Structure 1
Amino acid sequence: MIVGRRALRAAEALDLRSLLDQPDVTDRLWDEAGRLLYGMSRAHGYSKLHEYRDAIAVCRRWVELAHLQPATIDRATALTALADEFATGHAALVLGDLRVELVATMKDVLTAWIAELGPVSAWMTQRVAALDAPGSGFAVRVVTSEPNPVSMAEARVLIDGVPIAARVFGCFEADPPEWVLPRLVATAEPKEIVLDENDGDELRVTIVREGDEVVWRDWRCQISARLLRDFRFDAAQYDREVDRVTHDHSWEWPARTVARLINERLRPDPAIRARCHSTWESQDLAEIGFSYPDTPPYAAFRLMVDVAGRDPAEVADEVLAGLTYRRLTSR
């Protein structure tokens, strides 16, 4: 796929706006336009869509033409991925209020395509069901890219529809939910958190509960002058959103669910030097890493867990039971 500045130059050289404004737009041209828009939106970390002078017109026209395209799995995958960028990625900054209309249209098209295509991937089903463009106030959306075979998971924090990491860093990739979500809990004691980071540069903000409001203030970042004003949120709404996204695991793939369940049980016990994560090779393969003994020098061990076709909760219980047995018999 052509990405970044190459995608920008290709769109400009082709005069993509004029091509899409023709009476008859071929399926091939529509597909290629989508790839260029996605390439400018993602760009290996830094979006170039804001540099494209015809971005808004081309995005609008491309979405208008979507319902005319024959439904295919590849086409639905591309539309799903770009819809997430319009809704909560850097493209949302370029589109402004228009993103709400475009995302709603994309969701309608995708819903019709899925009904026509029959069974599609769990990733596509989940992403289309969750698709929306957050409006005013505080919001968090966990977004995953198309699994190939396993994707990244980003916890995108938005304020008044603006994706904060993209706004400050100019990049698309937010930190994963297990890093971000625990930090968002607001208490009466002010705490400075790292909301996101990019190549070692941290975006920091102080969060404090003041009566029936949660306040975000004192933004700091080493590399960016694009810092934000103070924000005040209704505390009840803020708490509901943090609770909702913390307990919504519908985006997880099987191995990631197993990893989360195992880590939740292991974390409170400091004597157990083990952590679990899903591998990059498969959505159904989890890896537990151990170190022993409790003091250096350590020896490292790995245990691979196959989750394919099984209930992740049952797999986690079996793994934890085995770890408990090994720990007891080793004493």
Structure 2
Amino acid sequence: MLRSAGDVWACALEVNAWRRGYPLEQVRSVTLLCEGGRLFLDVTAEIPVTVYPPGEGPHPGRVAGVDVGIIHPYAVAGPDTKALLVSGRAIRAEHRMHLADTKARRRAVARRAPKPGQRGSRRWRKYRARARQVQGRHQRRVRQAQHEAARTVVTWAVGQRVGVLHVGDPRGVLQVPAGRRHNLRLRQWQIGRLLQVLIDKATLAGITVHLVDERGTSSTCPACRRRVSKPRGRTLTCPHCRFSGHRDLVAAATIATRTPGGGPTTPTPVVLPGVVTHRRAGRHLPGAGRSRRDPRRPPPGGARIKMAGCGPPHHPVGSRSPRTVRIHNTTETR
């Protein structure tokens, strides 16, 4: 029988660790969170790092560059002229439709909203609970899509035997005011979370990650090293040497030549990718891969889109070794 709050907490901890497959000696911290009116347990566990059979694991001499962006959360240029593009248009659509839905809800109840200091009615409390529920669902959808994008990059890097990832750090743009609309895009971008999720999953797979300066990589021609004005689309065309290539992949290839803590120490030639693999992040989002209609409206015929579960899984690759790394997991309590 549970006699106190401590007993309830200990029982929840054991159930959560058992569901995730973590022995209690590997659990380092547990935090109770409330998100969208629902309770979650945030568990920090210490789990082994992946090892591979001889000759099949990531090689420390194979380096790939990763460019972090909004339209493409990750653009990777690896060795052997191979590249990966992860599309984030479904995530942008989710942000846009959630903002439109939130504005419509607020306009609908603006007249019935209680005044400052006035106690709300039962209907108002139900509306606020529903708004918190929708906000929590939106956050879980975006978080799941970000984990899927990072898992795609790590799986591709393991298949290419990439041992080192040079990731461009664009967080300096957050300090530059760019207007109301672009500031909203930067806030929804969630750069820090994208970097942290990629670092966690790459470290778990045995891949080393270095953050490098990405300044000028998207506006410098890799052939003649001259500055190129920002293109309107995704294709970078140099007016000086007539070079043309995908803007994000050109930046990723240049980032691969950068060294941690500064720019390239020597004029390293940039190897541009020739084989590009395309993947989409957020397949579980409503309307992903469908037409351009409103993804929150039901499709013709009255059938509604079924929502998928949105937890942030960390799936290991290969077998495990005695080396360990800490990651974060979140599980809902019942």
The structure where helix makes up a greater share of residues is 1
Higher relative contact order at CA 8 Å, sep ≥6: structure 1 or structure 2? 2
Q: Normalized against structure 1, the TM-score is what? A: 0.25
- Structure having the larger proportion of residues in strand: 2
Length-normalised TM-score, structure 2: 0.24
